[in-house]
Structure 1
Amino acid sequence: MHTAQPSPASDIRADGLVARLPAGIRPYALLARLDRPIGTWLLFLPGLWGLALGGAPWPDPWLVGLFGIGAVVMRGAGCVVNDLWDRDIDRRVARTAGRPLASGLLSVRQALAFLLLLLLIGLAILLQLSLAAILLGVASLVPIAIYPGMKRITWWPQAFLGVTFNWGVPMGYAAATGTLAPEAFVLYAAAFFWTLGYDTIYAHQDREDDALVGVHSTARLFGEATRPFLAACYAATVLLAALAGTMAGLGAAFYAVLGIAAAMLAWQVATLAIDDAARCGRLFRANRDVGLVVAAAIVAGRVL
């Protein structure tokens, strides 16, 4: 483990487009993790699944755009909440010591003001949706608020992330149809197990640091037994997604394309190396493509 001390502002690094932002804005972009878009993708994709499942036959481009912007905004809000909870822990972990709150680059008051701005933008987007989707969106604030504290009290924070991060499945379905149906909840369950799997891979990057600072995770809980646990999670993902497709009356093309996603997930299980942080990071990021293939499978099942 490399115990880190808070970094001065000059040590805060940004990549890509974030690095080109004005200096005064850059810390807020880093706080919202705009330099790491994989989290936004993984928040957006369940919403895309829900929109596709409720689409007739294509997802509404306007709704896809709203959910895309909403994913950027609400992922940012979630990161602010997470960093407010974790700023003391983050200072003690090498990978997170440079975050704007942990490093002192931003104050708690500045972070709270930024959080309010993000939530207001999120509200403006939410009000464009159906009543059922609005009610679901309001309800999502509860798991968003409590998730960051779960790593302190349970070995299963990844499960709480699964509940929170995949709220977009029923929301997307409700936005597309104005109502909810059992297949939307089955697809939500599929997404839950998907997140439980990929976030366990992600947590292996910080397993040793987490043990020393007292943070719990399924990575620490399962350790060397992670591979069979991951296989079970991903098998549940594929089987539940297939069941949701059957309930929704999707065509044969859905199962053919879903098979590609299943193969991609199986590859993650086969190549997992829990002591190789770089590989864990690559496998985690590979789930963006898995999510896109599942969305394509749903659309294919509607249009082919």
Structure 2
Amino acid sequence: MSTHTAPSARPPRLPLYLDLIRWNRPAGWLLLLWPTLSALWIAGDGFPGWHLLAVFTLGTVLMRSAGCCINDVADREFDRHVKRTAQRPVTSGRVGAKEALTVGAVLAFVAFLLVLTTNPPTIWLSFAALAIAMAYPYAKRHVSMPQAVLGVAFSFGIPMAFSAAQGGKDWALASVPAAVPAHAWWLLVGNLFWVLAYDTEYAMVDRDDDLKIGIQTSAITLGRWDVAAVMGFYVVFLGSWAAIGHALGLGALFLAGIGAAALQVAWHYTLIRDRSRDGCFRAFRENHWVGFAVFAGVAADLALR
């Protein structure tokens, strides 16, 4: 009788790919979606139409998923030293680096096909968005506050939404500034501070591991000022969006949405003030409700004009 053991079958790929793109953790793409939809509603002075809604919703999910593939390949040597990330598909070796990058490239290409249905200024902006998204995973090696780079990447749907809703058909690169009004860029800056807030909460979860492996995060850079800084970031985000929205003519319902978001921020303080891993991680996971509150205020206010 032969004692030769047959090689084990290759594990099914779909479950691994779904794990790779964090399919069971939608909070990540919701954090990108709500400010993008808020911008789309503001740019369109109300419901932007089913086409743009589908493009930006599906595009957000696809690009966040592609970003996960790039991030996991870039961080695979770091992630194996962090308990929370050690079993990710790339880190654990169940999905190869080239395979993960191929999945990410396919997802990004499908997202680009969606962008092609909009207009030239938005297509130009999509290249900048992709470049920033690809740069983020490497920022933590060189930048003391890499969350700021993530903030730009996670906020770039805002100018793209304005461009898609208000831009023309001119292919000249010079058409991009005209397609994106100044207040769209200010909304991006304000939203960047929201990303700084919730991703610093996220970084607080892994601070001990990150110190051991030598990467840079905002939680490490801010040190004992981390909680105060997070709350300050929230204040800048909500204050700037409230001011810009008021200047654009948004009224009481919009401000009610800002108020609902502020109440959640106050609750987040109770979660992160003692810097416990569970509390900080819960605050991060629940942040998409802050974005939803702001969007709900924008949509309701514009619907009842």
Q: TM-score, normalised by structure 1?
A: 0.89
Return the alpha-carbon distance in structure 2 between the equivalents of residues 159 and 60 of structure 1: 32
Counterpart code for 2:141: R
Structure 1 runs, 4 residues or longer, greater than 6 Å off? none
Residue from 167, 171, 174 that aligns with 2:160? 171
Separation in 2, partners of 1:56, 1:242: 17
| Counterpart code for 1:217 | T
Deviates more, 1:228-237 or 1:53-62: 53-62
Contact 2:39 2:161 in 1 (8 A): yes
Superposition map of 1:95-110 within 5 A = 95-110=84-99
Q: Contact 1:158/1:217 (CA < 8 Å) preserved in 2? A: yes
> In the alignment, which residue of structure 2 is the partner of 1:280?
280
RMSD across aligned C-alpha pairs, in angstroms? 1.8
Confirm whether residue 271 of structure 1 aligns to residue 260 of structure 2: no
CA offset at residue 37 of structure 1?
A: 1.1
Q: Which residue of 1 aligns with 2:77?
A: 88
8 Å CA contact 1:49, 1:172 repeated in 2: no
Partner of 1:292: 292
Alignment of 1:213-292 (within 5 A): 213-292=213-292
The size of the alignment, in residue pairs, is 285
Determine the structure 1 residue equivalent to 2:107.
118
Deviations along 1:196-222, one digit per CA (max 9) or x if unpaired, are: 001000111100000000011111122
Matched, 1:140 2:123: no
Alignment match of 1:151 (pick from 140, 150, 156):
140
Instruction: Work out which of the residue numbers 69, 74, 88 in structure 1 matches 2:63.
Output: 74
Cα deviation for residue 59 of structure 1 reads: 3.3
Distance across 2 between alignment mates of 1:60 and 1:283: 33
CA distance in 1: counterparts of 2:96 and 2:286, whole angstroms: 34
Give the equivalent residue in structure 2 for 1:207.
207
* Percent pairwise identity: 37
Structure 2 gaps of 5+ residues are 1-7, 168-178
For residue 152 of structure 1, give the secondary structure of its aligned residue in structure 2. coil
Superposition deviation, residue 237 in structure 1: 0.5
When Rg is computed on C-alpha atoms for both structures, the one with the higher figure is 2
Q: Which amino acid in the other structure matches residue 223 of structure 1?
A: G
Q: Which moved more, 1:56-65 or 1:217-226?
A: 56-65
2:100 and 2:271 map into 1 onto residues whose CA distance is 39
TM superposition score normalised by structure 2 = 0.88
Q: How far did residue 274 of structure 1 move?
A: 5.0
C-alpha distance after superposition, 1:136-184 (max 9, x if no partner) = 1111111111110111112201111101111011111222222221221
